[in-house]
Amino acid sequence: MRAISQPGQEFAARLVKKSPDGTLFRWALPRRRALLKWRDFLREQKIIGSSRWLRRSGATYVEIKRKGEAQRFLGHSNAALASRHYLDQTLTMDIPESPPPLR
């Protein structure tokens, strides 16, 4: 996460004042359109999967690199949400090293 600069905050406040429903972009980008745009973006980038898959794989990668940071990456207030619904447990589990193969 990053802090929004003061000029950015002022610009966002001006956008909210002009918005018909008091939000930044919901009026201009309804859920259906947003999902279609995500699908177009993923296709352009040659990424196979969905926006949910991209979010889940990003959270799993963050958790592998920095234990306990997936919650922050996802913006969740509840730590259990990330581990329950987003993290690929097969990749984030601490698996002890197996013994060497028998000869």
pLDDT tens digits along 73-97: 998 888 788 888 888 888 877 666 6
**pLDDT one-digit tens code per residue, 18-76:** 888 888 877 777 888 888 888 898 899 998 888 888 888 999 999 999 988 999 999 88
d(CA 62, CA 73): 7
Query: Is 67 within a domain?
Result: yes
Domain presence at residue 103: no
**Which residue's structure tokens are 């920095």?**
66
Give the Cα separation of 29 and 33 in Å (integer).
Answer: 6
What is the per-residue pLDDT for 44?
94
Q: Domain range spanning residue 70?
A: 49-91
Number of domains observed in the structure of the chain: 1
Domain-embedded: residue 5: no
| pTM strictly above 0.85 | no
Is 16 within the bounds of a domain? no
